[in-house]
Amino acid sequence: MMLAVSLLAALGIFSGTHASPSPPAPEPIEVFELPLPPVISNTTEGSCTADINPRGTGCIHQVFDEFQAGDFTPDGKHVIVNVEFVGAPAAPNPASIYSGEQAILIKADGTTFPNGDTWKCLSCGVPAGNARSLDPERDYPHVARNGKQALWGHNIIDCGDFALTSSQCTPNQTHIYPIHWPTSVDGSGKGGIPREMRLHPDDTHMGWSSFTSTGGQFAYFGRLQFNPSPKDGIPLAPRYDLVNVNVLIQSHGVGPIMANGTELQLHDEAISVGELRGFSGSGDEILYIGSPREANNIDVFAIHVTTGAVRRLTSHPEYIDPLAFSHDNNWFVGMDTRGSNRQMWMSGMRYIPPLIDLVTVTAASSTRNNGARRFFQPVLIDRYGDRDTYFGQGVNVAGNGSSGSVNDPNWNGRADPAFSPDSTKITFWQAIVASPDCGGVNPLVCPVSTADGGRTYRVMLAHLTKRSPQQPAPIFQIPDKIPWATPFPPGASAPNQYHLPAGNYTLRGKVQGVAHAIITSNPETGGYRSVSVRYEDYSDVKGYVINGTESVTSINTPTDPWEVKLEWYSDLHETGVVTATKKTGPGGFHLSTNAQTNLFKADGTLTTTIDGVIYEQPANGT
Ligand SMILES: *[C@@H]1O[C@H](CO)[C@@H](O)[C@H](O)[C@H]1NC(C)=O
Ligand SMILES: *[C@@H]1O[C@H](CO)[C@@H](O)[C@H](O)[C@H]1NC(C)=O
Ligand SMILES: *[C@@H]1O[C@H](CO)[C@@H](O)[C@H](O)[C@H]1NC(C)=O
Ligand SMILES: *[C@@H]1O[C@H](CO)[C@@H](O)[C@H](O)[C@H]1NC(C)=O
Ligand SMILES: *[C@@H]1O[C@H](CO)[C@@H](O)[C@H](O)[C@H]1NC(C)=O
Ligand SMILES: *[C@@H]1O[C@H](CO)[C@@H](O)[C@H](O)[C@H]1NC(C)=O
C-alpha cells in the first residue's frame, strides 16, 4: 500500500495532503559533531604553526564568516564544507596553499585520510592554469551524484576520472571552472546576478534565484554546458555556461489571489515560486518558498517539473527556509523556527487567508532572525509534509540543553542540511549566537563556544539508527522545455505576472462566512499600501471560525525595497477546535525593520493567544 501510494505521488497523480498516508511515528536519532581542521583566532601570516598542525595542512578561522557545510559524497562517508584557512606561512612553504576560502571534504565515519587528517582540501594548490577566472562566490558547496565533481558557489570543481574522495584526486588532477549565466545578448552576463545556486540530482541542470531591482525575486532553471573556449562574455576562460534557461513563471498563469469582479478567489494551484531551494530526491520536483497560504505563515512547496502540480510541504505556523530531500525521495529535512516560538505572535492563529500578506510578507521574513542570530533547527518530515497534527520530528531535540549540547538553543541551524545517499544520515551545521546579537544591551548573555578552539560554528551528523540503507530513487529525466515555465534566453525579460488590482472585495470562506477586504495600492512603489479585512463567521477549514478585523498599512520609503514599516491593527477571534485571538495593543503595532539586517524594532504590541497560551513579539533588538 505504501509503495503504491508513493508511486502514484511520484507520478504526480496525487497532490495535496488528502491522499497522504498516516504520519510516521518518531524514530531514534543520535547526533554527533564532526571534526574540522585545527582552529586559530590569529589570522596573521605564519600563525598556523607546526605546533598547531604538524602536517602543515592548514588551520581554519575561529569565526564563521565564510564557513558553510554542504552534503555527502556518494559513499556517505564524507561531507563537503567551505572553510576559510588562515595564518598560513608564506610561499614557498608547501603549507602556504592552505589559505583563504577553500572547499574541503571532512570525514563523517570517524576515520582519517591516508595522511592522518580528518579532512582533505579539494581546491587548495590547484595550479593557476587549471583554475582560471574563478567566480568569487563560494557558497552552498554540493557534491555531484557522480562523486567526481562538486558545485562550489558559482564554480564547478572537477577531478576528471577520479572520485573527489580518492587519493588520486590531487591538485594537479583538479580543474575548477566558473559558471556563466549569459543574461544579455552581448554575452556579458549583465542583467541578473545568480544567487543560491543548487545542482539538480542529474548533475547537469541547475536552479537558482535572482533579485530584481525592486526587491522582488525570480527563480530560474537551466542546463550546464561546458564551454572550453568562450568567444564572448566574461570570463574568457574555460567555463560552464547556463543554457536552456527558464524563468519559473507561468506566462498568463493564475495568481495566488485573483479578483473576479468584486469577489476574491484563492488559487492553491497557482505557480508562485519565490526563492528556489533545491530539488526532490529524484529531481522530479523543484523546491521553493512560495506565496503564503495562511497569513504570515511562510512555507515551502514543491512543483513537479513537467506537470506543474504544486504541493504544499509545510504548514506549521513557524518559518521554514532551507531544506533537502533524501535520495530515496521519501523524506526531507528542513531548517525551521518551529519549537522556538519566534514567529507565533504573528502566525500562530491558523487558517487566516493570506490577504494582509500583500503588505506583510517581508515582515514575516525579516522577523525570523535577529541580525545574524537564526532560530532555525533541523526537522525531519516525510515526503507528504505537515498534515493534521503531524509536524515532523526535531532532529536534535534530545539532550539536556546545556552549553554545547546537541540541543543547546544558542547553536543556530544554518543552510543547507543534507541526507546521506542511503537516506540513513543527515548532516547540518550551526553557528553560536555572538555579539552584537547577544551581550551588551541585549538581555541574552553571549555564550562561550565549547567547540574546538572556541570555533563559532560546528558540523553535526544525525544518525537515524533504526533505518536500513535505502536505494536512491531513479533520477527524473528533465525535458528540454519545462512546459509551464517561460524560456529566458539572453536578452529576455520576465513575463508580467497577474497583478491583483486595488479595490473592495468579498472573499467567501470555503466552509462558511465571508471576509470583506479593502485593498489600496501605492503608486510610488507599484505595490500595495494597505489591506483591511473584516471577517464574519469566516471559515476555510471546518472547526476554525474567524471573526473580527485586521488592517495593515505599509509606509515604506519607495526607494528601499528592503525597508519594512508597517502600521498594524488586529482584533481577531477564532473559535471551534481552538479558542484563539490575535490582537494589537492600544494604538496598534508599528513595526520598522529591514529585510537585509533583520533587527526587530516595534512600538506597540501584537499578541496571539491560543487556548490560553500567550505568544508575544520579541523585545526590540532581540
Ligand atoms: C598574532 O600573531 C602575530 C605573529 O605571530 C603576533 O605578532 C601578534 O601579536 C598576534 N596577535 C594576537 C592578537 O595575538
Ligand atoms: C603538478 O604539476 C606541475 C607542473 O604542472 C609539476 O611541476 C608538479 O610537480 C606536479 N605536482 C605533483 C604533486 O605531481
Ligand atoms: C466569476 O464569477 C462569476 C459570477 O459569480 C462566475 O459565473 C464565474 O464562474 C467566475 N469566474 C471564475 C473564473 O471563477
Ligand atoms: C548535560 O549532558 C552533558 C553530556 O552531554 C553532561 O556532561 C552534563 O553534565 C549534563 N548537564 C546537566 C546539567 O545535566
Ligand atoms: C471601498 O470601501 C471604502 C470603505 O467602505 C470606501 O470608502 C471606498 O469608497 C470604497 N471604494 C470603492 C472603490 O468602492
Ligand atoms: C461572529 O460575528 C457574527 C456577526 O458578524 C456573529 O453573528 C457571530 O455570533 C460571531 N461569532 C462568534 C463566535 O463570535
Q: Looking at residues 298-320, what average pLDDT do you find?
A: 98
In this model, does residue 18 exceed pLDDT 60?
Answer: no
Out of 512, 533, 536, 537, mutate this one to test ligand 6's pocket (max ligand atoms within 8 Å of CB): namely: 537
Q: Given this model, what pLDDT does residue 161 score?
A: 97
Protein residue whose Cα sits closest to atom 14 of ligand 4: 400
Distance 405 CA to ligand 4 centre (A): 8
Atom of ligand 6 nearest to the CA of 536: 5
Residues with CB under 6 Å of ligand 1 are 42, 44, 47
- In whole angstroms, give the CA distance from residue 238 to residue 162: 20
Say if ligand 3 is within 6 A of residue 496 CB: no
Convert 21-86 into a string of H (helix), E (strand) and C (coil): CCCCCCCCEEEEECCCCCEECCCCCCCCCCCCCCCCCCCEECCCCCCEEEEECCCCCEEEEEEEEC
Of 486, 414, 476, 415, the closest CA to residue 218 belongs to 486
**C-alpha 402 – ligand 4 centre gap (Å):** 6
d(CA 536, CA 205): 48
Q: Which atom of ligand 1 is nearest to the CA of 42?
A: 1
Ligand nearest to the CA of 572: 6
Closest CA to 341 of 409, 256, 261: 409
Q: Give me ligand 2 centre to Cα 175, in Å.
A: 14
Q: Which atom of ligand 4 is the closest one to the Cα of 401?
A: 1
pLDDT for res 216: 78
Q: Please write the tens of the pLDDT for every residue from 338-387.
A: 999 999 999 999 999 999 999 999 999 899 999 889 999 999 999 999 99
Q: What confidence tier does 190 reach under pLDDT thresholds 50, 70, 90? A: low
Q: Whose CA is nearest to atom 3 of ligand 3?
A: 260
Query: Which residue, 579, 571, 578, is CA-closest to 607?
Result: 571
Higher pLDDT, 615 or 215: 615
Alpha-carbon span 189 to 325, nearest angstrom = 31
- Take residue 415 and report the three cell numbers written for it: 543552510
More confident residue, 335 or 20: 335
Q: How far is CA 249 from CA 4, 174, 191, 244, 345, in A?
A: 32, 37, 17, 15, 32
- Give the pLDDT band (50/70/90) at residue 556: confident
**In angstroms, rounded to a whole number, what is the distance separating the alpha carbons of residues 428 and 314?**
19
Average pLDDT over residues 473-491: 95
Q: Ligand 5 mean position to 504 CA, how many Å? A: 6
Instruction: Name the pLDDT band for 119 (thresholds 50, 70, 90).
Output: very high
pLDDT of residue 188: 58
The residue among 538 and 13 whose pLDDT is bigger is 538
For the chain, domain boundaries: 503-616
* pLDDT for position 187: 60
Predicted confidence (pLDDT) at residue 268 exceeds the cutoff of 80: yes
Amino acid 56: pLDDT: 97
Mean pLDDT of 491-517: 96
Residue 4 has pLDDT above 70, yes or no: no
State the pLDDT at residue 8: 34
Indicate the top mutation candidate among 260, 265, 508 to test ligand 3's pocket, ranked by most ligand atoms within 8 A of CB: 260
> Is residue 610 scored above 70 in pLDDT?
yes
Banded pLDDT at 594 (limits 50, 70, 90)? confident
Measured CA to CA in angstroms, residue 618 lies from 338, 375, 556 at distances of 15, 12, 22
Residue 414: beta bridge partners? none
Ligand 6: atom nearest CA of 545 is 13
Minimum CA distance residue for ligand 3 atom 13: 260
Longest dimension (CA), the chain: 77
Q: Give the pLDDT band (50/70/90) at residue 524.
A: confident
**Which ligand 3 atom sits nearest the alpha carbon of residue 260?**
1
Ligand nearest, relative to CA of residue 46: 1
Query: Ligand 1 centre from 89 Cα, in Å?
Result: 13
- Mean pLDDT score of the chain, rounded to an integer? 94
- Banded pLDDT at 2 (limits 50, 70, 90): very low
pLDDT band at 212 (very low <50, low <70, confident <90, very high): confident
Per-residue pLDDT, 233: 83
Does residue 260 line the site of ligand 3, with CB under 6 A?
Answer: yes
More confident residue, 145 or 64: 145
| Higher-scoring residue by pLDDT: 246, 558 | 246
All cell numbers assigned to 358:
500583500
Give the Å distance between the CA of 118 and the centre of ligand 1: 27
Rounded to an integer, the average pLDDT of 425-433 is 98
pLDDT at 9 over 60: no
pLDDT-derived band at 189 (thresholds 50, 70, 90) equals low
